[in-house]
A and B are shown apart, each in its own frame.
Chain A
Amino acid sequence: MKGAWFRVVLPPLALFLLVAAVWQAMVMLLNVPPYVLPSPARILATVEEQAGPLVGASLWTAWAAFCGFSASLLIGTLIAFAFSQSDIIRRSMYPYAIFLQTVPIVAIAPLIIIWFGTGFPSIVFVSFIISLFPIITNATSGLTSVDSNLLDLFTLHHATRRQILLKLRLPNAVPHLVTGARISSGLSVIGAIVGEFFAGYGSAQHGLGYLIVLTSGQLKTAYLFACIGASTALGLIIFTSVGLVGDAILSRWQETRR
């Protein structure tokens, strides 16, 4: 067990330290200006120095991502439910659901700002739009891709529509929904940061996306690196927590667990 832990953690950690060391050496030897490429030591110092604002911005972005993710989980499941109940609804609406997947968010961001103004609601909305599609597709396929023999079994036992939904379709959709949520959780963080690019200014509190725009504009490159690091860490934390919750739920659905 301990050996496995070492095998998993040690190699990437060693590589990380090696790259950081080479990076540090190159910056020092070649005298690279810090606004082009700050040394790891300088980035680390900035993280320490700006820990308060960084954590504050990360929490704010996490909150926005969480709201966007929750909204897409709820509304995406409801849309999928409508799709699974009616062929006409699915056929008429599905092409527009694909629109969510294909539209470049930067193209509709100005529209969102016109509608919702700058600030938190717009950010949550962008996060919601970006993370909605995987929930819709996965939940729909989970609700509709039911083993035909099981459907026959339910029919033979005179199951009502409601029983087929509650005892067959919904439980069948859970593993699919977990997969969708996993993809969606990562996207919701990206959505929140992108949202802050466009709508994150002008309020008392701000998130990582706004901080990235600000620090790059001021050529505070070390701070920018710290923001990138915080964004990555945030995405990782949210993705992993959703993954752990998903695994806990899926322990009953073992055969579809990956």
Chain B
Amino acid sequence: MVEARDIALHYATGTVALSGLSLTLRRHEFASIVGPSGCGKSTLLRLVAGLLSPTSGDLRIDGMSPAESRAARRDVAFVFQFPTLLPWRTVAGNLQLPFELGAEPQCADPDRLQAMLELVGLAPFCNAMPHQLSGGMQMRASLARALILRPELILLDEPFGALDDMTRQRLNEDLLALWQRDRWSALFITHNVFEAVFLSERVYVMGARPGRVVAEFAIPFPHPRQAQLRAEPAFAELAGRISLALREAAS
């Protein structure tokens, strides 16, 4: 789905954000990227989204460059670190937004809207304004907005970083259930190793200055994964190994 080979990104200021970065996201795979802060995780996601272009290297999305992929209107969904909802629109209004944008705006199918609201548990709040929702519920709305156009690729930039741990775990389980249902490909950025292990089939560890992939872990736990997985020794052992790799990358 996403194939990055030896990618580099240099800013005009001379800062080298990424260098020699390679990773692969297979179709229907959920992969996470962990790394110390400032290692260019978000930059990588913006490259894949086509919001930035690499200075050198080869980046392919389904065999196309991000720009070509964008031109072909293969929608890439992006979930930001913050809910990023329009504060003047209701939850339902925010979910309609993706339909309204672009050269050929469409009418949102009300059944699809309703189904999506139910899927993320926001059906009773469809007419609520974002500020009336808790942080977790706002994030659910943001997820629903990303999923509503049924994209094949979803990029998530530390979406649960600002939530408390209980809410985060809950949303992890819900996100995984959604992924199991539709099996989009996901690139998920986090600095929380446990979250990465719980969600992913593959975890990449990035190092800083310049940003690059320093380690790759396959996560063998079968699906469906339940909350109990977090208490299993194998889970803790794997998370521990990734944490060590992360420490090494940060030093």
Measured CB to CB, the residues of A under 8 A from B are 147, 149-150, 152-160, 163, 167-168, 171, 174, 252-256
Measured in the bound complex, the distance between the Cα atoms of B51 and A171 in whole Å is 24
Closest B residue by C-beta to A147? B84
A168 — which chain B residues lie within 8 A by C-beta? 86
Given contacts A157-B101, A158-B102, whether A255 and B87 have CB atoms under 8 Å apart is yes
Q: How large is the interface on B (under 10, 10 to 19, 20 to 34, 35 or more residues)?
A: 20 to 34
Cα A28 to Cα B195 with chains together (Å): 81
Nearest residue (CB) in B for A257 is B131
Residues of the A chain whose Cβ atoms lie less than 8 Å from the Cβ of B97? 157, 167
Closest beta carbon of chain A to B69's beta carbon, Å: 11
- Count CB-based A-B contacts (< 8 Å): 63
Indicate if the CB atoms of B98 and A157 lie closer than 8 Å: yes
**Cross-chain contact A158 with B101 (CB below 8 angstroms):** yes
As a 0/1 sequence over residues 80 to 104 of chain B, the CB contacts with chain A under 8 angstroms (1 = contact) are 1110101110000000011011110
Quick check: is B189 within 8 A (CB to CB) of the other chain? no
The residue from B77, B84, B105, B129 contacting A149, defined by CB atoms under 8 A apart: B84
Q: Which residues of A contact B50 (CB under 8 A)?
A: 156
Residues of A close to B105: CB separation below 8 A:
163
Contact B101 A159 (CB under 8 A): yes
Chain B interface residues toward A at CB < 8 A: 46, 49-51, 70, 73, 75-78, 80-82, 84, 86-88, 97-98, 100-103, 105, 129-132
Docked pose: A123 CA to B187 CA in angstroms: 63
Q: Are A158 and B103 in contact, with the CB atoms below 8 A? A: yes
Decide: A154 near B101, CB < 8 A? Known: A254-B129, A254-B131, A255-B131. yes
A155 & B82 in contact (Cβ 8 Å cutoff): no
Across the interface, do A156 and B49 meet the contact criterion of CB distance under 8 Å?
yes
Q: Which residues of A contact B102 (CB under 8 A)?
A: 157-160, 163
Q: Are B129 and A156 interface neighbours, CB within 8 A? A: no
A-B contact pairs, 12 of them (CB 8 A): A149-B82, A156-B51, A157-B97, A158-B70, A158-B73, A160-B103, A163-B100, A163-B102, A167-B100, A174-B88, A254-B129, A255-B131
Cα-based distance from A85 to B140 in the complex (angstroms):
34
Bound: A178/B138 CA distance, A: 26
* Chain A contacts for B129, CB-based, 8 A: 252, 254
9 closest cross-chain pairs (CB), A and B? A157-B101, A158-B102, A159-B101, A255-B131, A149-B84, A149-B80, A171-B88, A254-B131, A255-B87
Min CB distance B142 to A, Å, is 10
Using Cβ atoms and an 8 Å threshold, which residues of chain B touch A155? 51
Q: A158-B73, A167-B97, A253-B88 are contacts. A152–B78 as well, Cβ < 8 Å?
A: yes
